[in-house]
Structure 1
Amino acid sequence: MSVSELLGRVSTELNDIAAQVERLHPLVSAQSGQLAANDLHYAQALQSFDYIEQKLRCLAGYLDDLSAGAAPGWQIDPHAALAAITLSDLASRLSGQNSSSLSAAPSGDFELF
């Protein structure tokens, strides 16, 4: 696989995660009014939440720029590294497989924390 293609795929995944974090902002903000005013740790946690989104977007942009600058001939074998990805749909997207071609296996347990 070309290095440019792989970097682009990782960049896309990071942008998707950042968008998911951004969609959670209203949920977190709805609880923040009184708690943030009274609890310094809660206010810092809210700031950290926003900072995570910003970092994800910055890393995605960084990888996207690296992808654009990578020489077309640069190749990499991602299979060994993909073995460490425990989320099958993520591994599928990073490897270039169509997610719809995956079997409809159960995705795992749901755990509230």
Structure 2
Amino acid sequence: MTAERQAHSGHFEEALPDVLMRIVSELHDVAYLIERIEPQLSDTKGETHLTEADRMMVLQGIDLAVQKTRGLAEFIDTVTSTIPAEWLVDVTTAVNLIKLADMQRSLGHGSLRRGHSQPIDESAGAFEAF
């Protein structure tokens, strides 16, 4: 099946390394977003509903989540460098299962996103309603 026919049938094959690098980018973004939560929880000023021991466990859990996310990203990044560009995959079904539109666009038939989904210079308290 030619690439043109694939596009008309709603399916499009693309290089596996390109797809994996978009996943790497998303994993780095997840780690960044988790990391941004940590300072909020470590702030001991104000009221807290967690004991000091509970707060420490939450912070350790966040740190572990960041390390695991970055570890997965680096693993995929390294494995991807050994995959021939000729290996093609169709991500249409997988992308359609993703609920977040931004992630769908990023992982779909696009290019690597530069930067993060929520830049650090965004105003405090700003949020996107969903």
The TM-score normalised by the length of structure 1 is 0.76
Counterpart mapping for 1:1-113 below 5 A: 1-31=14-44, 38-97=51-110, 109=130
- Structure 2 equivalent of residue 102 of structure 1: none
Structure 1 residues 91 and 17, CA gap change in structure 2 (3 angstroms): same
User: Size of the alignment, in residue pairs?
Assistant: 100
- 1:69 partner SS: coil
Q: Which has the larger radius of gyration?
A: 2
Show structure 1 runs of 5+ residues with no match. Answer: 100-106
- Structure 1 equivalent of residue 118 of structure 2: none
Structure 1 residues 42 and 26, CA gap change in structure 2 (3 angstroms): closer
Structure 1 vs Structure 2 CA RMSD: 2.5
User: Structure 2 CA distance, aligned partners of 1:61 and 1:73?
Assistant: 22
User: Structure 2 CA distance, aligned partners of 1:84 and 1:40?
Assistant: 38
**Greater per-residue helix proportion:** 1
**Greater per-residue strand proportion:** 2
Q: Percent identical across equivalent pairs?
A: 26
Show structure 2 runs of 5+ residues with no match. Answer: 1-13, 114-127
